Amino acid sequence: MEAADGTANLIIGDQLSLFTSSLVHIRRLWRELVTSIQWENVSEPVLYGLNLLRSFFVLPLLQFVLALCLTMTVMILLEKLFVGAVSLTVRIFKIKPEKRYKWEPIKKDEELGSSVYPMVLVQIPMYNEKEVYKLSIGAACGLDWPSDRVIIQVLDDSTDLVVKDLVEMECQQWKSKGLNIKYEVRNNRKGYKAGALKEGMKHDYVQDCEYIAMFDADFQPEPDFLMRTVPFLMHNPDIALVQSRWRFVNADECLMTRLQEMSLDYHFKVEQEAGSTMFSFFGFNGTAGVWRITAIADAGGWKDRTTVEDMDLAVRASLRGWKFVYVGDVHVKSELPSTFKAFRFQQHRWSCGPANLLKKMFFEIVHNKKVSFWKKVHMMYDFFFIGKIASHTVTFIYYCAVIPLSVFFPEMVIPYWGIVYVPTIITLCKSVGTPSSFHLVFVWILFENVMSLHRLKAALTGLFDAGRVNEWVVTEKLGDAHKTKTVIVDITEASKLVDSQHTKPCIPKLKKKKSGLLDRYLKYCFLIASCIPVEQLELCIHVFASHVSYGLYIFGFFYYVLLTGSITQNWLLEFFYRSVDTMMLLPLRKDTAFTSLFKALHFLLPVLVTLALKLLILDLFLCPFTIFNIILFL
């Protein structure tokens, strides 16, 4: 037995010796190769070719993108000024919906009794809403409306049997109190929320209803909600939808919810108000609204072709000639996503769905004959292009790419108004929705810049029917839990649904496998290595070379800036030599034959470092395990 072990050790030793000698031989051959080539003769044509590439391709491309971004920036500015002026006019002259449309409170009649109240169906779609189901059902059952003239329909698509039992028990409890509440389930989840709403309309008792009030599981309407909204529909037969305003119960929970509140308050106070006043059209927000059932049927009912079924229905109903009313004085309490992962998935759906809907309905809108030309312009220009496409494109490409890259191209001249005045005015216009949070406007700008990457990617996914176009991730709710503790939720499990009936993407989804553990390990290595002297840097450089990414240059950049406080191309060359030296296992120095070739490539290094910095900054903002996500919960 010992003899066999000794033989095995000898074999392993011989193999190691052979491997070591092979490495030495390869290094000797490589050294002879690099010293035999006249690199000076190679560097000149390479440098000439790179200069041609820079002058005739890269620079013209950047100048074209700059002109395009400046044009879209001006378009966004004009749109913000227009909707802002309309909203300001409404506020100054108090042009409320009650003045533009007939509205009278419902008067009680002793002879007719409760029959003076129209029959209303209240729909509450749910999916594993364990934290909030009691709040929404209780608020719906507490609406001030005769119990014999309202039907509360709970559409439960939950996959958790425990949650299903809890929701059903809650419905039975309210039913025992005399309320007409229906608990409906289905054997599949086809079409997500749109499929559930469509299935709920098929029941016989719905035929007796005139209007439908819709609330998501985390929404809590006030008792007088129906009393203040339904009269618009009763006295104006051309109105299809009455939309109320969202108010947020957890807006002060963390910094991220404050920033969300700023964006959504502007959306409701300015964008929805302007659309309702000028064109009687705006995007249905999917909840906290009352629909006329005949209008839904006239528009073709609920469709599950996109993940924004609410916007789809609103656009189709508007093209049929129906009008919408936004009532900003009616508030409905709701909950904001309090985890960055939940917010990111929500923004993907809100950005991908509208772009996909625009692609599907573009020609239908253009060729429509029932609405005016200006309403179609508003729908295509303000609603879709500016709000769903241009804003994301400009925010990311212009502010996060073109402006930083212009530093390395002196030929590019960005006008002062395009880099200071116009962005400032746009920011001020969008910050008026929440005056109490105006001091957070600079943080909000950074947050919006980071989210623009996700939104632009989602919008392009929708336009090209790419991999995640049909992805629906249910936004996690915490209910009352946010008042006592922070709940970390795993959204990946049991939240991503795949609907086989949706449009199949023409571009298959690319599944990228990456090790989150390795990424975090390298980030910690960067911090540790920053304490290592320059002389010992070569001893630990292999740690960074093991991960093919921008990490090597990022570490070197910050390390040098912390030591000297300045950036020079000579240092970039020196650091590049060090990295190549270690990764190639060759003792290369500035006096080797590679010097001329590296000098030909030196002007690209600042660009690479800048792009790497941008990627790192985005990574720090987007990764849920990094510093920014922790700050959001402070």
pLDDT tens profile 457-486: 999 999 988 777 666 666 666 665 544 333
Catalytically annotated residues: 157, 310
State the Cα–Cα distance between residues 310 and 377, nearest whole angstrom: 21
Give the span between the Cα atoms of 333 and 388, in whole angstroms. 26
- What does the alpha-carbon distance between residue 288 and residue 54 come to, in Å, rounded to a whole number? 54
pLDDT above 70 covers a percentage of the chain that reads 67
User: In whole angstroms, what is the distance from residue 373 CA to residue 380 CA?
Assistant: 11
How far apart CA 276 and CA 437 sit, in angstroms, is 26
Q: Give the pair of three-digit tokens for residue 465.
A: 């029917």
- The pLDDT confidence band at residue 40, using thresholds 50, 70 and 90, is low
Q: Is residue 527 part of a domain?
A: yes
Closest to 613 (Cα-Cα) out of 534, 555, 527: 555
Contact status, residue 522 vs residue 544, Cβ threshold 8 Å: yes
The mean predicted confidence, pLDDT, of the chain is: 77
Classify 299 as helix, strand or coil. Answer: coil
Position 450 confidence tier, pLDDT thresholds 50, 70, 90? confident
d(CA 215, CA 150): 14
Say which residue the tokens 């987007």 belong to.
Answer: 622
Query: Percentage of residues in the chain with pLDDT exceeding 90?
Result: 48
Strands (E), 388-429: none
Backbone angles phi, psi at 187, to 5 degrees: -85, 5
Per-residue pLDDT at 552 exceeds 70 = no
Query: In Å, how far from its chain's centre is CA 44?
Result: 47
CA–CA separation, 7 vs 186, rounded Å?
70
pLDDT in tens, 68-79: 999 999 999 999
- Asked if the structure places residue 621 within a domain, the reply is yes
Does a structural domain hold residue 611? yes
> 569 lies in a domain?
yes
Strand partners, 155: 125, 184
Per-residue model confidence (pLDDT) at position 105? 92
Separation in Å, CA 564 to CA 428, 433, 559, 569: 38, 44, 9, 14
**How does pLDDT run across 82-139, given as a tens digit for each residue?**
999 999 999 999 999 999 999 999 988 777 778 899 999 999 999 988 888 999 999 9
Q: In angstroms, rounded to a whole number, what is the distance separating the alpha carbons of residues 258 and 264? A: 10
**CA dist 269 to 37, 220, 266, 301, 463, Å?**
69, 20, 5, 28, 28
Instruction: Round to whole Å and give the CA distance between 235 and 590.
Output: 84
Phi, psi values for residue 93, rounded to 5°: -90, 5
Q: Using alpha carbons, select from 510, 550, 504 the residue that is nearest to residue 526.
A: 550
**Domain range enclosing 624:** 519-631
Task: Give Rg (Cα) of the chain.
Answer: 31
**What DSSP state is assigned to residue 434?**
-
CA nearest 556: which of 612, 595, 509? 612
Domain assignment of residue 554, yes or no = yes
Residue with tokens 């060359």: 573
CA nearest to 600, candidates 34, 33, 31, 53? 53
For 191-245, write each residue's pLDDT tens digit. Answer: 888 899 999 999 999 999 999 999 999 999 999 999 999 999 999 999 999 999 9
What's the Cα-to-Cα distance from 154 to each of 23, 132, 476, rounded to whole Å? 71, 13, 19
Per-position DSSP letters for 363-391, written without gaps between them: HHHHT--SS-HHHHHIIIIIIIIIIIIIH
Tell me, yes or no, whether 170 lies in a domain. no
Residue 571 pLDDT: 45
Helices marked H in 255-320 — which ranges? 255-266, 273-279, 293-298, 309-319
Number of Cβ atoms within 10 Å of the Cβ of 12: 10
pLDDT of residue 4: 54
- Count of CB atoms within 10 A of residue 496's CB? 13
Cβ neighbours of residue 417 closer than 8 Å, sequence gap 6 or more: none
- Residue 118 in any domain: the answer is no
Name the residue with higher pLDDT: 194 or 292. Answer: 292
Give the number of domains in the chain: 1
Q: Is 605 a member of any domain?
A: yes
> Is it the case that residue 267 has pLDDT exceeding 50?
yes
Look at residue 3 and tell me whether its pLDDT is greater than 50: yes
Among left, alpha and beta (phi > 0; psi -120 to 50; other), residue 178 is left
Instruction: Please tell me the distance from the alpha carbon of residue 18 to that of residue 344, in angstroms, as a whole number.
Output: 53
Cβ-contact 213, 296 below 8 angstroms: no
Of these ranges, 19-33, 168-182, 526-540, the one predicted with the greatest mean pLDDT is 168-182
pLDDT band at 426 (very low <50, low <70, confident <90, very high): very high
Question: What is residue 610's predicted lDDT score, i.e. its pLDDT?
Answer: 47
Q: How far, in Å, CA of 61 to CA of 415, rounded?
A: 18
User: Cα(606)–Cα(614) distance, rounded to whole angstroms?
Assistant: 12
| Residue count (the chain) | 634
Mean pLDDT of 1-26: 60
